[in-house]
Chains A and B, each alone.
Chain A
């Protein structure tokens, strides 16, 4: 891939440039820390109000963590692509002949880092609010689960974010498109997290089967996204 001046731009450089750009925007605007994170925390508290039972809350804590993560995913993806399309940044990158698969990976990694930061806070919140116990074995499973699930979510989120970027009514279209696709992640991550928490008498070993599904999901949409992202942006 060559840029305007005819020199080659290495893929890795594009990935890191896009990644750093997205993280720098977050550092300056603080949208995730000041808006999305409080929102996700509120969702957790609201569930406690709605369910109103300590035993039930401990039982469903894992599912609530991942639901709050999904809701936050929509907000972060929308925000990230709204900034890019408002300034025509994506178009400029395309016209400059930048490899769009590299842009995809850059944005996906930035999204994954933001999500992981969010999930760590949500899990700590669940331990405090819903009185979840976490063993050492469970912690290993939980960390693996967070990494695999988040990479899947980041790939899918970036792909569909690119699809709806710049379109009218994207705020409502994105959840409609994304929710059915991320259903396997919700199921698998919730079961794995339940196993890690030992909620409802689940064994830690039961969780590892779900990690396989999460890995397959991340791989499928990582490959699919890097192939399709360019043609969705390119118009």
Chain B
């Protein structure tokens, strides 16, 4: 059995298996508690249950993008230009984009229930949407053709530019909204009076999502190394084959 596991999960180790199993347990508890055990909110009613998946995924998405920025900066600054930084930045961004998509979808479902609209042009939502599109662009840059070093340099610069861009976008949207007074957005988190079980479930959600994030990033960055190595080997064996052809003639 352990041998079969070893072969099916090439990027798995004992540590990732422990993290994986723990995160499944925690996530199962969050689902059961979030859907069944926790009480409904006085103001929001049942719709408050979306909070237990929405808030943790937003938290992980932002955390992932911070990690990407820090890892990219480390790659640029470090003299060795270790590819580990680059792979971590890429893996973290991929997972971050996924959690950002989850955040936007669950957020608009929750918004429909609490505000009556799927989308509000409020600064926080708009900046989040821009962050999402920016990192989709970042992932597209990583898929450009070229060597591993080119990929690392290009994507690290793009990640640094995103750090410059996002505050400008946020500030301009804040200024835009403050002049064009739209519908007042009620803050969904602020209105919820949380009892102990609700707080604990939300906290478990954050822990569970963080474990899932760690598991995904570990596997993603190892997979990236495997794919890079496999591509290199493909190139090497092609060169060897051409040389063999040349000497045979």
Contacts and interface: CB of A to CB of B under 8 A. Distances in A.
Interface of A: 159, 163-164, 167-169, 173, 176-177, 179-181, 183-184, 187-188, 191, 206, 209-210, 213, 216-217, 220-221, 224, 228, 231-232, 235
B179 A206 contact: yes
Contacts of B158: 163, 177
Main DSSP-derived SS at the B contact region? helix
B28 interface: no
Contacts of A177: 137, 140-141, 158
Contacts of A206: 179
A235 B169 contact: no
A59 to B, nearest CB: 13
Contact of B161 (A159, A168, A187, A235): A159
18 contacts: A163-B158, A169-B144, A176-B140, A177-B140, A177-B158, A180-B134, A180-B137, A183-B130, A183-B172, A184-B169, A184-B172, A187-B173, A191-B179, A213-B172, A224-B164, A231-B153, A232-B157, A235-B146
B161 A181 contact: yes
B159 to A, nearest CB: 11
B157 A231 contact: yes
Contacts of A179: 133
A176 B136 contact: yes
B86 to A, nearest CB: 14
Given A173-B140, A176-B137, 13 more contacts: A163-B158, A167-B145, A173-B144, A176-B136, A176-B140, A180-B133, A181-B165, A187-B173, A187-B176, A191-B179, A206-B179, A210-B175, A213-B175
Contacts of A210: 175
Main DSSP-derived SS at the A contact region? helix
Contacts of A228: 157, 160-161
A226 B133 CA distance: 25
Interface in B93-136: 130, 133-134, 136
Contact of B172 (A169, A187, A220): A187
Interface of B: 130, 133-134, 136-137, 140-141, 144-147, 149-150, 153-154, 157-158, 160-161, 164-165, 168-169, 171-173, 175-176, 179
Contact of B144 (A167, A181, A220, A224): A167
Nearest to A229: B157
A169 B143 CA distance: 11
A191 B176 contact: yes
A96 to B, nearest CB: 21
Contacts of A217: 168
Contacts of A176: 133, 136-137, 140
A210 B160 CA distance: 25
Given A167-B145, A206-B179, A180 B165 contact: yes
Contacts of A191: 176, 179
Contact of A168 (B130, B136, B144): B144
Contacts of B146: 167, 235
A27 to B, nearest CB: 32
A200 to B, nearest CB: 10
Which 5 pairs show the lowest CB-CB distances between chains A and B?
A184-B172, A177-B137, A167-B144, A184-B168, A180-B133
B209 to A, nearest CB: 25
